[in-house]
Amino acid sequence: MTKEMLENISLPRHIGIIMDGNGRWAKQRGLPRSEGHKAGAKTFRAICDYGAELGIECLTFYAFSTENWKRPADEVAAIMNLFRDYLTEAEEREEENAVKGMRIRYIGDRTALPADIVDMIDKLEENSADKKTITINLAVNYGGRDEILHAVRAVAQKVQAGELKAQDITLNDIDGNLYTAGLPDPDLIIRPSGEYRLSNFLIWQAAYSELWFSDILWPDFTADDLDKAIIDYGKRNRRFGGV
Ligand code: FPP
């Protein structure tokens, strides 16, 4: 996107991206599915950098859902290894990321993740907590319903402890206990690969999100495609239930 275009457009503050189509991308090339995820991880890095360049405040990537454990064990292991590679690299490139002002956050249920990955996430979250240009949220072992359940349990505990009355529970109580607490709701959600559903991604936060779909498979998704999605978003008339 040119500087001029950028000046004339209202940028989404938060974009959610469902990284779909890696398997089909690999199949088209006669490669194992893991190669598709590897190519997808490359696209993820490129889009993180481009998002920071554009001035997007927050990008949330759906990398692994609470339902993805059903996949063959070797595919799950390959995705976890890509995640490890990224976390190791992010640690090594801490200075570079600091210059970019990149904050990295994890969203999801970390209790089921391998311990070494949890350690790396904790470290990365801590070390990047003060960065303010862009927040990259990695959704791994993430499910929207699971997230809401987790938030409801936290609120119920307060009620049980006598700290809050049931009739006084507000939307903010739920919101504040989601994994995304403190972040703006996604303005735009992008799903490539020709599927037209949210698949349990940010289902609470997506109440008023603009949705953008495309047939491109995630490994083929480029900065130009992000531009297209943002330009389309800029033409939408967001009313949030008003007129
Ligand atoms: C969906 O495509 C993709 C996934 C379940 C995994 C996405 C993971 C990555 C891109 C790598 C994660 C790494 C980092 C560093 C975040 P699919 O396999 O369902 O594709 P298909 O529908 O074509 O089979």
For a substitution probing ligand 1, which of 20, 47, 84, 193 has the most ligand atoms within 8 Å of its CB?
Answer: 20
Measured in Å, residue 37 CA sits from the centre of ligand 1 at 5
Q: Ligand 1: which residue has its CA nearest to atom 6? A: 63
- Give residue 9's pLDDT band: very low, low, confident or very high (50, 70, 90): confident
Residue 10 or 116, more confident: 116
Measured in Å, residue 18 CA sits from the centre of ligand 1 at 9
State residue 165's pLDDT score. Answer: 98
On the question of pLDDT at 241 being above 90, the answer is no
pLDDT tens readout for residues 135-189: 999 999 999 999 999 999 999 999 999 999 999 999 999 999 999 999 999 999 9
| Mean pLDDT of all residues in 213-241 | 94
> Cβ(99)–Cβ(69) under 8 Å?
no
Ligand 1 pocket residues where CB is under 6 Å? 19-24, 37, 40-41, 44, 61, 63-64, 68, 79, 82-83, 86, 138
State residue 208's pLDDT score. Answer: 96
User: At a CB cut-off of 8 Å and minimum separation 6, what does 165 contact?
Assistant: 159
| Mean pLDDT of all residues in 93-106 | 89
> pTM score, two decimals?
0.95
Percent of the chain with pLDDT over 70: 100
Q: Ligand 1: which residue has its CA nearest to atom 8? A: 63
Q: Which atom of ligand 1 is nearest to the CA of 61?
A: 16
Q: Which residues are catalytic?
A: 20, 68
Measured in Å, residue 128 CA sits from the centre of ligand 1 at 25
